[in-house]
Amino acid sequence: MQKNEYILLLGADQYLRERAFSGAKQAVDLPVWAATEDPVRTLNRTFDHMLSADPKDADSLLRAIRGHAAQGRHPRVVVPLNDWTVDAANTVNRTLGLGGLDATAVTNARNKHAMKQALLAAGVRTPRSRLVRSEPELLDAVEDIGLPVVIKPYDFGGSGGVVLATTREEAVAGLAESKGVIARYGTAFNILGDKYLVEQFVDSDDEVSVEVLCGAGRAQVLAVTEKYLSPRPWFAELAHLVPSHRTGDRALTDLAERACTALGIDRGLAHVEIKFGADGTPWVIEVAARPGGDGIMDQVERAYALNPYQLHVGSYLGADLLDVVAAAVPVRTSAIAFLKAAPGRIEDVLDGKPLPPEVRSINISAKPGDLSRAAQNWSTREGLIELEWDELFGEKTQLPVAVARELADQIFVTGEAAGQ
Ligand SMILES: Nc1ncnc2c1ncn2[C@@H]1O[C@H](COP(=O)(O)OP(=O)(O)OP(=O)(O)O)[C@@H](O)[C@H]1O
Ligand SMILES: [Mg+2]
C-alpha cells in the first residue's frame, strides 16, 4: 500500500494559533492534521483532516493514529504547540520512532520543580524555591526563602494561581487562592496541581520572554519580547511587544540559550521567561518547550517577516535551522495588548468607533452582563488589540498598555463594582 504521510499539529486548532497551519505548510509539503475529541462538533476546516482523539492524551492519539495506519496514512511527526500537548506529542513520537523530545526534557519543561533543579544544576540563574503541599510546609519554606515570596502551582500556566506574598498571612491566603484556581481549572487542563512552589521574589516589573530555537546541545535566540505586567499581587500579562529594546543584550540571550540546553530541549522553539532584578541581573523564571502563546508568535512573524511556526515544525522534522534564526532581523514593531474593563458588571459594549492607525486588529470577547474583575491571569481579559509601528523602539514604550486602556475605557461601560 502506498504510504501517505501527514504532519499532526497538537494545540494548533485554537484562537491565536492559526498561523501554525501556514508555518507547517511552509516547512513541508504534506497534509496538516489536527486532533480534537469531537471532530463532528468542533470541525476546523483549515486543517486537511481532524483526527478524532484527545490531543492531551498519548494513548488516545496512538489509537486514532493506528486506525489511520491501517489505511496507509502515517504521521511524519507530531508537533506540540502548547504546554498541555508537549508530553502527549513527544510520547507518540518516541513510541512510533519519529524522534521527539526525551522524557526527561518533557518533565523538565512541564514540572516547575524539576525545571528549577535542572537549571540550578547547570548553573543557570533562577530564583531559589521550595516545593510545598500544606500550610505548615509553606510556612517552613517562607522561613527558609525569606519574604516576599511568589507562590504558584508547579504544573499550571497562564499565570493562574501565581501570587505574591509579602507577609506570612498573605502567604497563607496566597496558597489558599492558588489551590482555589486549581480546583476550578485543574481538570480541564489535565494537571495535578497537588504541589506548589514557594519562590524567592525577583523584585521589579522588568520582564521579557525569549523565543529560542533548540538543537542537540545548541540553541539560538530568535526574538526577545517585552512583557507588560498587571499591578501586584498578581502577574497577569497585559501586553507583549516585539522586538524588545533588549534584543541585542548578550547576557540575556546567552542565559536564555543556556536555560534551554540545561533542560535538554533539543528541538523546536522554546519560550523562556526572564525577569530582571532591581540591579538589572536577569533571572530565568521558567522555560516552556513550545512556541510562546498569547499571540506572541504572530507579533514575531510581523516584526521579523518570518513565520516562527515554520522553524518549529521544520526543527521537529529534523532540519537544522539555527543559522536561519541567527540571520533574522526585525523590520518593524508589533504588539498585542489585552483589553481590561473597569471592575464591575459590564452594562454595555460600544464598539465601532474609528480606531487609532497603529491598531491592526481588535477582538472583544466580553458582552453586556459579564462581570469584570481585576487583572489576575488569562481568564480576566475582555478582549485584545494588536498594534504595529514602522519604527523599532530604543527603550520600553508604554504605548501598548496606554492604547489598550484608552480603548477599553471607550468601549466598556461598567456599572457598580461588584464584590470580587
Ligand atoms: N520568583 C518570581 N519573582 C518575580 N516574579 C515572578 C516569580 N515567579 C513568577 N513571577 C511572575 O509571575 C508570572 C507568572 O509566573 P510563571 O511564569 O511561573 O507562571 P505561569 O502560570 O507558567 O505563567 P504564564 O503561563 O503566564 O507564563 C511571571 O511571568 C512573573 O511575572
Ligand atoms: Mg510563565
Q: Is the pLDDT of residue 379 over 90?
A: no
Enter the C-alpha cell of residue 298.
504572530
> What count of residues does the chain have?
420
Q: For 43-95, write each residue's pLDDT tens digit.
A: 999 999 999 999 999 999 999 999 999 999 999 999 999 999 999 999 999 99
- Smallest CA-to-CA distance from 309 within 28, 2, 15 is with 28
Report the nearest-CA residue for atom 19 of ligand 1. 159
Q: Whole-structure pTM over 0.85, yes or no?
A: yes
Residue 277, phi-psi category: left (phi > 0), alpha (psi -120 to 50), beta (remainder): beta
The 3 state secondary structure assigned to 253-298 is HHHHHHHHHHCCCCCCEEEEEEEECCCCCEEEEEEECCCCCCCHHH
Q: Give the C-alpha separation, 147 to 166, whole Å.
A: 6
Given ligand 1 and candidates 155, 198, 235, which is best to mutate, with the most ligand atoms within 8 Å of its CB? Answer: 235
- Split at pLDDT 50, 70, 90, the class of 2 is low
C-alpha 213 to ligand 2 mean position (Å):
18
Instruction: Report pLDDT for 264.
Output: 98
| Smallest-distance ligand from the CA of 293 | 1
Instruction: Report pLDDT for 318.
Output: 98
CATH number at 207-331:
3.30.470.20
| Smallest-distance ligand from the CA of 193 | 1
| Smallest-distance ligand from the CA of 238 | 1
DSSP state of 235: -
Nearest atom, ligand 1, residue 204 CA: 4
Instruction: Report pLDDT for 233.
Output: 83
pLDDT over 90 percentage in the chain: 88
Number of helices and strands (H, E) in the chain?
A: 12, 19
Q: Ligand 1 — pocket residues by CB below 6 A? A: 127, 150, 152, 156-160, 162, 199-202, 207, 229, 235, 237, 273, 275, 285-286
Residues of the chain with CATH 3.40.50.20: 4-100
DSSP state of 152: E
Cell 532584578, residue?
Answer: 277
Residues of the chain with CATH 3.30.470.20: 207-331
Mean pLDDT of 169-178: 95
- Smallest CA-to-CA distance from 241 within 143, 108, 330, 137 is with 330
Given ligand 1 and candidates 81, 152, 377, which is best to mutate, with the most ligand atoms within 8 Å of its CB? Answer: 152
Provide the pairing of β-strand 163-165 with 218-229.
unpaired
Backbone angles phi, psi at 183, to 5 degrees: -60, -35
CATH of 128-200, one of 3.40.50.1820, 3.55.40.20, 3.10.450.50, 3.30.1490.20: 3.30.1490.20
Q: For 200-243, write each residue's pLDDT tens digit.
A: 999 999 999 999 999 999 999 999 999 999 888 888 899 999 99
Report the nearest-CA residue for atom 4 of ligand 1. 202
C-alpha 156 to ligand 2 mean position (Å):
9
Report the nearest-CA residue for atom 23 of ligand 1. 159
Instruction: Report pLDDT for 417.
Output: 62
| Smallest-distance ligand from the CA of 285 | 1
C-alpha 287 to ligand 1 mean position (Å):
11
Report the nearest-CA residue for atom 30 of ligand 1. 235
Q: Which residue has the higher pLDDT, 329 or 374?
A: 329
Residue 142, phi-psi category: left (phi > 0), alpha (psi -120 to 50), beta (remainder): alpha
Q: Which of 93-97, 149-153, 180-184, 381-385 has the lowest mean pLDDT?
A: 180-184
Instruction: Report pLDDT for 3.
Output: 72
Bridge partners of residue 197, in order along the sequence: 131, 152
Q: Is the pLDDT of residue 321 over 50?
A: yes
Q: Give the C-alpha separation, 32 to 344, whole Å.
A: 43
- Average pLDDT value for the chain: 95
C-alpha 152 to ligand 1 mean position (Å):
8
Nearest atom, ligand 1, residue 378 CA: 26
Provide the pairing of β-strand 359-364 with 383-389.
antiparallel
DSSP-derived secondary structure for 87-136: HHHHHHHHHTTS----HHHHHHHH-HHHHHHHHHHTT-----EEEESSHH
Instruction: Report pLDDT for 186.
Output: 83
- Split at pLDDT 50, 70, 90, the class of 420 is very low
Q: For 273-308, write each residue's pLDDT tens digit.
A: 999 999 999 999 999 999 999 999 999 999 999 999
- Split at pLDDT 50, 70, 90, the class of 271 is very high
CATH number at 4-100:
3.40.50.20
Upper half-sphere CA count for residue 199 (Cβ side, 13 Å) = 24
